Amino acid sequence: MEEQKISVWGSVRFWRNTAVWVTGFAVLLLIWLSLDTIPQISAGTIEDLENGVTKRVPSAAVINYEIGYELDNKRKTEIPIIGGKQMFFGRNDYSEEEATELVSHGKMTVQSKNCMNCHTLLGNGAYYAPDLTKSWLDPAWSETGPYRPMTGKATTEEAMAEFLQHPNKYPTHARMMPDLGITPDEAIAVVAFLKHMSSIDTNGFPRNFNKIKGAVNAK
């Protein structure tokens, strides 16, 4: 568009060029940061777990280990701590492939059952039901919590799996979870997915988790 030369601030061409440069810069920076982020959030390996190498997203084989969530003195936020070996549905020798498949099956089930449109995962989703980010570590599902004794199961994973299959048998609140036809296999997979999710380094979200009754200790 041709225009009289009054001032550069009134020139369409100037602002069009500015828009192109600003957008180009923002896009390039986003791509560059994404190229840095993706490797950082790709799952670690079983060897990392064995050698105590910390990953933001550990290998799915983390289901073989105890997981904690403790205040880190350096970062001043709570971070997941991988502890010693722990039984998960009676085993602690899931191979990398086995665990990855199990967690993936859990994730697929979580998607198929539309969990995210009531719950939040990593804080994203709907606000009709509790956040699932650290649900594996939630005291409600521990020995002393109300849910595990309610299901009559000995471990957190069994209690969660039982609840997922028969939510109508265990009313936790007036807002009950509907029966979504989750099979025993799917329930185990979902619990594996939840356990793995609790091991992700979320920069301290949720903050102050379970502070009232003290930290969840892995060691």
Partner 1 sequence: MLSRVMNVQYESQKLAINYFQVALILFGAQLLFGLTTAIQYLYPQFLFGIIDFSVGRMVHLNAMIVWLLYAMIGSVYWLLPDETGIETVGIKIGRLLFYILTLAVTIVVVVYLVVQVGPGNAMSRWLIHEGREYIEAPRWADIGIVVVVLGFLGNVFATAFKGKRTGIVTVLMIDLLALAGLYLAGMFYTKNVSVDQFWWWWVIHLWVEATWEVYVAAVIGYGLIKTIGANRKIIEMWIWIEVAMLFGSGILGIGHHYFWIGTPEYWLEIGALFSALEPVPLLGMFVHVIYDWGKQAGKRTPMTNTPAFSWFVVTTFGNFLGAGVWGFMHTLPQINLYTHGTQWTAAHGHLAFYGAYVAALIGMMYIGLQGKYGLKEMRMTASAKWGITLLTGGVLGMTMALTIAGYVQTFIERGQWGATWQGYFVGQNSPWMIQAYGWRLAMGVVTILGFVFLMKDMMTIARTAQRENLKTESTATATA
Does the protein bind partner 1 through residue 115 (CB under 8 A)? yes
Q: Which residue is associated with the tokens 């810069």?
A: 25
> Of the two residues 95 and 183, which places its CB atom closer to partner 1 in the complex?
183
Least distance (Å) from partner 1 to the CB of residue 37?
5
Length of the chain as a residue count: 219
Does the protein bind partner 1 through residue 122 (CB under 8 A)? yes
Total residues binding partner 1 (CB under 8 A): 94
Q: Where are the alpha helices (DSSP H) in 139-208?
A: 147-151, 156-165, 184-197
Does the protein bind partner 1 through residue 32 (CB under 8 A)? no
Which of 126, 122, 134, 148 is CA-nearest to residue 209?
134
> Of the two residues 87 and 111, which places its CB atom closer to partner 1 in the complex?
111
| Chain residues 84-113 in contact with partner 1, contact rule CB under 8 A | 100, 103-113
Does the protein bind partner 1 through residue 128 (CB under 8 A)? yes
Q: Where are the alpha helices (DSSP H) in 43-136?
A: 46-50, 96-112
| Chain residues 159-218 in contact with partner 1, contact rule CB under 8 A | 172-176, 178-183, 186, 189-190, 193, 197, 200-212
Q: 72, 126, 149, 184: which one contacts partner 1 (CB under 8 A)?
A: 126
Distance of CA 202 to the CA centre of its chain: 8
Least distance (Å) from partner 1 to the CB of residue 6?
11
Does the protein bind partner 1 through residue 11 (CB under 8 A)? yes
Please state, as a whole number, how many other Cβ atoms lie within 10 Å of the Cβ of residue 11: 16
Q: Which residue is associated with the tokens 């799952």?
A: 43
CB 142, CB 73: distance < 8 Å: no
Does the protein bind partner 1 through residue 135 (CB under 8 A)? yes
Residue 183 has what DSSP assignment?
A: -
Q: Token pair of 2, please?
A: 């041709």
Does the protein bind partner 1 through residue 138 (CB under 8 A)? yes
Least distance (Å) from partner 1 to the CB of residue 34?
8
Does the protein bind partner 1 through residue 79 (CB under 8 A)? no
CB 172, CB 103: distance < 8 Å: no
> Of the two residues 18 and 95, which places its CB atom closer to partner 1 in the complex?
18
